[in-house]
Amino acid sequence: MRIEATGLTKTYTTGDGRLPVLTDVSLALAPGETLALTGESGSGKSTLLHLLATLDTPDAGSIHLDGTEITSLDDAGRAAVRRDRIGLVFQQFNLIPSLTVSGNLDFQARLAGRHDPAWSATLAKRLGLADLLDRYPEQLSGGQQQRVAVGRALAVRPSVVLADEPTGNLDESTAATVLGLILELVAETGASLLLVTHSEHLAGRLGRRVHLSGGRLS
């Protein structure tokens, strides 16, 4: 298995007390598998994605990524996993404003020591960014910015792409195009994909889907 999460539990402590969000959540993703995660607003989808992305740690449970247990790693270890093996795409494109499209595309791969100019050029072409490489994010449309974010995530050839409402800020047709590109590129690279979405339509384009409700997956 690419990702194997077992018995994940997460409770937030807020001013109003304890808020249990995930209860004994388990899921597995095979190499190349694409999984849609749906659920009502506030059901804990982003929380689960953040745990898988090593951005947060569960109160209980384990997560294996390519056979390595990642929840017990220290901060540096988790940062290395995130940099080297995980491609993250968020609803907000999160591009670096001071870097060009080219600089943004290569950013994570350079950090990971895995910059591959030929693959980078292929990604730019496939994502329709080849003529925009010298522009800055503020000079791009939303759809173009998200294509850069997708390229940045794929440039390291990650084991897993974790995408949190990646098309939530895009119009319907641009959203469909961007999801199509994500699906093509994860298929080509053999990455597994977990995609959080509110859209039944988009969820239906993935191989499998799970639903989060009352802290549990079904």
Question: Two tokens at 194?
Answer: 């977990």
Shorter beta-carbon distance to ligand ATP: residue 114 or 211: 211
Write down the least CB distance from residue 18 to ligand ATP, Å: 10
Mapping DSSP to helix (H, G, I), strand (E, B) and coil, where does residue 1 land?
A: coil
Shorter beta-carbon distance to ligand ATP: residue 72 or 213: 213
> Which residues are near ligand ATP by CB under 6 A?
12, 14, 19, 21, 39, 41-47
Write down the least CB distance from residue 120 to ligand ATP, Å: 31
Cα-based torsion angle of the residue sequence 83, 54, 140, 126 in order, rounded to the nearest 10 degrees: 60
Distance CA 200, CA 172 (A): 13
Distance CA 9, CA 13 (A): 13
Whose CA is closest to 143, among 126, 125, 113, 167? 167
Distance CA 112, CA 156 (A): 7
Shorter beta-carbon distance to ligand ATP: residue 43 or 71: 43
Shorter beta-carbon distance to ligand ATP: residue 198 or 208: 198
**Strands, E, within 121-207: which ranges?**
160-164, 192-196
Write down the least CB distance from residue 154 to ligand ATP, Å: 23
Shorter beta-carbon distance to ligand ATP: residue 15 or 117: 15
C-alpha of 121 from chain center: 22
Write down the least CB distance from residue 45 to ligand ATP, Å: 4
Write down the least CB distance from residue 58 to ligand ATP, Å: 13
Shorter beta-carbon distance to ligand ATP: residue 44 or 158: 44
Write down the least CB distance from residue 46 to ligand ATP, Å: 3
Q: Which residues pair with 207 in a beta bridge?
A: none
Distance CA 56, CA 164 (A): 15
